Amino acid sequence: DQQVKQNSPSLSVQEGRISILNCDYTNSMFDYFLWYKKYPAEGPTFLISISSIKDKNEDGRFTVFLNKSAKHLSLHIVPSQPGDSAVYFCAASDDSGSRLTFGEGTQLTVNP
């Protein structure tokens, strides 16, 4: 069973506009959520995280929102830049260990 799901395989936005990437989870024991960015031929790189005790975390152009009741989180990128074009993975962990469970990823394309 896929405990972390990213239902949109791809997203295309114009430069300067907002990109919103979505992620849903089913395991109510998850208490930390992370976003990773992956360029072709490179490993994923950590972008931003949020604890389940918060509903928002911001870092520059990147903001992650968490809606625990809906088991949903989203990553907002404002303003989007062509260099943001990459695959974005959502990941989550629970208190049982250090492992992360990943979603399938969303390919973001930012058009100039």
Q: Where are the beta strands (DSSP E) in the chain?
A: 4-5, 10-14, 19-25, 30-38, 45-51, 56-59, 62-67, 72-77, 86-94, 101-102, 106-111
The answer to whether 28 contacts other proteins (rule: CB under 8 A) is no
Looking at 51, 67, 81, 111, which residue binds other proteins (CB under 8 A)?
A: 51
Q: Which residues contact 58 (CB under 8 A, 6 or more apart)?
A: 64
Asked if 60 touches other proteins (CB under 8 A), the answer is no
| Nearest approach, Cβ of residue 90 and other proteins (Å) | 9
Q: Quick one: 63 or 103, whose CB is closer to other proteins?
A: 103
Residues 6+ apart with CB under 8 A from 40: none
Given the rule CB under 8 A, which of 12-20, 30-38, 58-66, 72-80 is the region that contacts other proteins? 30-38
State the residues that interact with other proteins by CB under 8 A.
2, 4, 9, 32, 34, 36, 41-47, 49, 51, 89, 93, 97-105
